[in-house]
Amino acid sequence: SPAPVVSEAVEAQVMSEVVAPLVRGLAAEGCPFQGVIFAGLMVSPEGRAKVLEFNVRFGDPECEVLMYRLQSDVLAMLLAACRGELDREEAQLKWLEDPALVVIMAANGYPGSYEKGTPIRNLPTREEEEQGNFKVFHAGTKRGDGDDASEVLANGGRVLAVTASGKTVKEAQEKAYRGVDTIHW
């Protein structure tokens, strides 16, 4: 993030041909929307955005990299959306300028039949994340049961999202993979 294929022209096309018609259509049907709409898009080789899907939630794993770059208070932004007050100062988006990316640590076999219940060891502490300039977001994890309640286990296909930023995409990638390398699973 930001996606290198999203030029100013692509952004303008998405706003005029996807977002604005969607918002107008919802309002025309008596369903003005206040909240999060995720537009899953692909950019063609010709530089045209094509809609794959809409979701009334953040995208995953897109959300992790966006939350990493977001410098604004996400709660204030969401409350402002609910109240119809996105024009307020505290609802304005402020972004980390550096590019960021996310590396998904997926369960063995994903996206098909995948393993569950495998222990994840050596998860970094918050201090270790800060020192390494990366962040681990949990997705498909759970705590163990009984005597193993302190253990973290894989419990889904996309298990961890290791996110980092850097002055370049390559630097962000190196930081994220250093984070991946600390985790034993």
Pair 44, 118 in one domain = no
- The answer to whether the CB of 137 falls within 8 A of the CB of 64 is yes
Q: Which two tokens stand for residue 100?
A: 């960021």
- The answer to whether the CB of 132 falls within 8 A of the CB of 144 is no
pTM for the structure as a whole:
0.83
Q: What is the DSSP letter of 92?
A: S
Q: Per the domain annotation, does 156 fall within a domain?
A: yes
How far apart CA 169 and CA 100 sit, in angstroms, is 7
Pair 52, 122 in one domain = no
Q: Per the domain annotation, does 89 fall within a domain?
A: no
pLDDT in tens, 105-146: 999 999 999 999 999 999 999 999 999 899 999 999 999 887
pLDDT in tens, 135-180: 999 999 999 887 777 899 999 999 999 999 999 999 999 999 999 9
Which domain, by its residues, includes 5?
1-57
Pair 109, 172 in one domain = yes
CATH code: domain of residue 30: 3.30.470.20
- The answer to whether the CB of 162 falls within 8 A of the CB of 105 is yes
How far apart CA 102 and CA 61 sit, in angstroms, is 8
Give kind and range of the element (H or E) at residue 167.
Answer: none
